């Protein structure tokens, strides 16, 4: 274990977070809010800590185990220090609540303990939504786009942090890949801001709702979320961009290279769009009797389907009042999630495809024992290690899901609340059902349960293994 490189990179990351905190400090200054001082104090603390963590080590080489540890510790530290402005400003007095809110921000979950969002200072809410935008593409990817970490080990960081069964470099150098990802991310974010401004949103709300859409997070400046704007145009823009940010960013890069054929061949993209279209159609038909016109039913169905499958968590309708069929579809969408390589959470469409294809392969093998069957995606054979990784992920996912439901049940909430609270945090969705439904929040959970759910959010965002590595004793030995 190369402890010096872990210390060095974590120090650099704390310094970057300290500099980023100056952005909401500037917003507070513009709106003449005293909360800006809390950002400056936290920034100074982080920069001082980064200096204490030492200089660049002589040995800059690191491998998978260091990569996993760095990623897991970085997300925990960014969340812990990112919670300080909430506590120091008095917006969220208790640290556990502030930690939950910040973890929910960086992991782009969007679950909240706040009962009245509209009383927050604008600078504080700006920081709250900015965490979505940073966490959407990944904390480490953000840092790699800003500072060089060396190409040999940087790919281990990307593999540990990027969502999906596989992680590919777009260009030979990892830092180049990070820059390309963020350029595309910035472009899509900028377009959404302009379109929301065209719909009558003020600049502040357009920016923070873009942060939440791009990161597929779901934090808003309104207690009623996007429903507060009551605009079909705004609903439409956010629906489209939620779906766009739920697509694998590698496909956007292929479009930049004018390789449209490769994009059209993507089985994951076709499955993702097919699931979205099918869910919208089914829910629209199921809720027709609840709305004045079919178009209105389609508007709300499309928004909620896009919000849930991309794990954004915005709401424009209280789907708790919808028929059971619609709520069941929403529950299934929470599990499926968006595409690999996107800013969305969930199990990922690619994993669902690999699992379904593997089941089909096993059935064919039983029927024709002497035949040679392989699992293919986009015309290419899926490596055995990728299939094995999907199995491991699924087993770990189910164990953590059941264990977390058991732990939060000590609060004596009803089963639907407990189950969907864990499901929505583990899949980084945001709202659940019952007491954590679209018009409810997580305030009523105990501090213990909030810590469990915070860990679920981190586990879900980092796709389990990086967080599990922290608890493996052999990882911390000098020889691995």
Three-state secondary structure along 85-114?
HHHHHCCCCCHHHHHHHHHHHHCCCCCCCC
CB-CB contact of 249 with 171 (8 Å): no
* pLDDT of 186 higher than 50: yes
DSSP for 275-316 reads HHHHHHHHHHHHHGGGSSSHHHHHHHHHHHHHHHHTT----S
Residue 188 covered by a domain: no
- pLDDT of res. 171: 47
| Domain region containing 451 | 380-476
Residue 388 covered by a domain: yes
Residue 422 covered by a domain: yes
Q: Among 242-256, 365-379, 430-444, which stretch is predicted with the lowest mean pLDDT?
A: 365-379
Residue 478 to residue 6: CA distance in whole angstroms: 13
Query: Residue 67's pLDDT band (boundaries 50, 70, 90)?
Result: confident
Residue 389 covered by a domain: yes
Task: Give the predicted TM-score (pTM) of the model.
Answer: 0.92
Arithmetic mean of pLDDT over the chain: 89
Residue 258 covered by a domain: no
Residue 183 covered by a domain: no
* pLDDT of 126 higher than 80: yes
> Which one is predicted more confidently, 137 or 159?
137
Quote the number of domains for the chain. Answer: 1
- pLDDT of res. 53: 82
Residue 274 covered by a domain: no
Angle formed at CA 305 by CA 340 and CA 246, multiple of 5 degrees: 25
CB-CB contact of 480 with 474 (8 Å): yes
Average pLDDT over residues 402-428: 96
Residue 141 covered by a domain: no
* pLDDT of 414 higher than 70: yes
Query: Residue 104's pLDDT band (boundaries 50, 70, 90)?
Result: very high
In terms of Cβ atoms closer than 10 Å to its own Cβ (0-12, 13-18, 19+), residue 148 is exposed
């Amino acid at each position: 274990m190369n402890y010096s490189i872990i210390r060095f990179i974590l120090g650099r990351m704390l310094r970057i977070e300290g500099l980023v905190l100056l952005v909401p400090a500037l917003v507070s200054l513009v709106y003449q809010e005293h909360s800006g001082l809390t950002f400056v104090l936290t920034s100074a603390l982080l920069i001082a800590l980064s200096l204490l963590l030492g200089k660049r080590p002589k040995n800059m080489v690191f491998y998978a185990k260091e990569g996993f540890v760095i990623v897991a510790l970085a997300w925990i530290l960014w969340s812990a220090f990112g919670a300080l402005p909430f506590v120091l400003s008095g917006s969220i007095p208790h640290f556990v609540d502030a930690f939950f809110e910040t973890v929910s921000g960086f992991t782009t979950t969007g679950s909240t303990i706040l009962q009245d969002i509209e009383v927050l200072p604008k600078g504080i809410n700006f920081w709250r939504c900015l965490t979505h935008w940073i966490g959407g593409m990944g904390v480490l990817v953000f840092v790699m786009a800003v500072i060089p970490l060396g190409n040999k080990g940087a790919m281990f960081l990307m593999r540990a942090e990027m969502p999906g069964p596989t992680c590919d470099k777009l260009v030979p150098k990892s830092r180049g890949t990070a820059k390309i990802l963020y350029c595309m991310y910035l472009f899509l974010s900028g377009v959404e801001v302009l379109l929301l401004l065209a719909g009558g949103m003020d600049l502040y709300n357009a920016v923070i709702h873009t942060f939440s859409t791009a990161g597929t997070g779901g934090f808003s400046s309104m207690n009623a979320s996007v429903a507060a704007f009551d605009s079909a145009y705004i609903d439409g823009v956010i629906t489209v961009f939620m779906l766009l940010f739920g697509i694998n960013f590698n496909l956007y890069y292929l479009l930049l290279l004018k390789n449209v054929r490769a994009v059209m061949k993507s089985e994951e993209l076709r499955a993702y769009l097919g699931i979205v279209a099918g869910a919208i159609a089914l829910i629209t038909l199921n809720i027709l009797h609840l709305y004045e016109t079919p178009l209105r039913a389609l508007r709300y169905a499309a928004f909620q389907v896009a919000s849930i499958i991309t794990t954004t968590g915005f709401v424009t309708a209280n789907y708790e009042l919808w028929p059971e069929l619609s709520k069941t579809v929403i529950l299934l969408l929470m599990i499926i999630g968006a595409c690999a390589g996107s800013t969305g959470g969930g199990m990922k469409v690619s994993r669902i495809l690999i699992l379904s294809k593997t089941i089909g392969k096993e059935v064919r093998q039983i029927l024709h024992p002497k035949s040679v069957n392989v699992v293919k995606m986009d015309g290419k054979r899926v490596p055995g290690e990728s299939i094995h990784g999907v199995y491991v992920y699924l087993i770990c996912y189910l164990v953590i899901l059941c264990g977390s439901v058991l732990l939060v049940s000590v609060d004596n909430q009803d089963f639907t609340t407990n189950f969907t609270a864990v499901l929505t945090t583990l899949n980084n969705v945001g709202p659940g059902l019952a007491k954590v439904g679209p018009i409810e929040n997580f305030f009523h959970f105990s501090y213990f349960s909030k810590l469990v759910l915070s860990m679920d959010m981190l586990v879900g965002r980092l796709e389990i293994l990086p967080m599990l590595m922290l608890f493996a004793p052999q990882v911390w030995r000098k020889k691995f």
